Amino acid sequence: MVILFRLSAIFAVLTLFACSQSSPNAPVCRVSDRLLSQQNQVGENSPAPLIAAACLVKTNNKVLLVEHRLSGKLDFPGGGVLENESVACTAHRETWEETGFNVEVTQYLSTTSNGLAIFGCDLDAGIETLPDAFDAPPWAKLEIKKLVKTDPFTLDHDAMRFADDLIPLRDGYTQFDITQH
């Protein structure tokens, strides 16, 4: 009976993953000409090796963050660098995978103490008309609970998936001027 129960649980999990929608192919990486010309400077004075990248997307007086399903905490849309992928294209791809938005990576902002390169990314998709919290795309729902637009200066360290990312979030927010691109 115990074996039958374990097999049923395994089949249920396999069925759940088999029925989940996979991510569509990411669109072609969009990096501004200005950033391409500065690419050799990205991460130059980084406190850690660049192992991941993320986008800081501003909308009105807020930033777009993802709420992780398991922790319930907020984070930049981003993730790990793939082999033969630039960190700017990693930020683009990961933002697409977690939000469904095809951003343009325009400005290197900083690198966190754990090796996350943060880029300013432009988005011209009417995001300002969306509510402050809305669903992640279907393919991201295993990892991402929802997308959240928030004022980075109202957050505390406990709201962030990585507490040390709050200061780089605030610094990036003040440094990134989307009107300059």
Q: What's the pLDDT tens digit per position in 35-55?
A: 876 665 676 666 667 889 999
Q: What's the pLDDT tens digit per position in 115-132?
A: 899 999 998 778 899 999
Go through the chain and tell me how many residues it has: 181
Structure tokens at 71: 């922790």
Q: What's the pLDDT tens digit per position in 129-162?
A: 999 999 999 999 999 999 999 999 999 999 999 9
CATH topology of domain 28-178: Nucleoside Triphosphate Pyrophosphohydrolase (3.90.79)
pTM of the model: 0.81
CA atoms within 13 A on the CB side of 6: 3
Structure tokens at 98: 């977690």
Structure tokens at 83: 């082999």
**Model confidence at 60, in pLDDT bands (50, 70, 90)?**
confident
CB atoms within 10 A of CB 58: 21
17 has pLDDT over 60: no
Residue-range domain boundaries for the chain: 28-178
Structure tokens at 72: 């319930």
In terms of Cβ atoms closer than 10 Å to its own Cβ (0-12, 13-18, 19+), residue 59 is middle
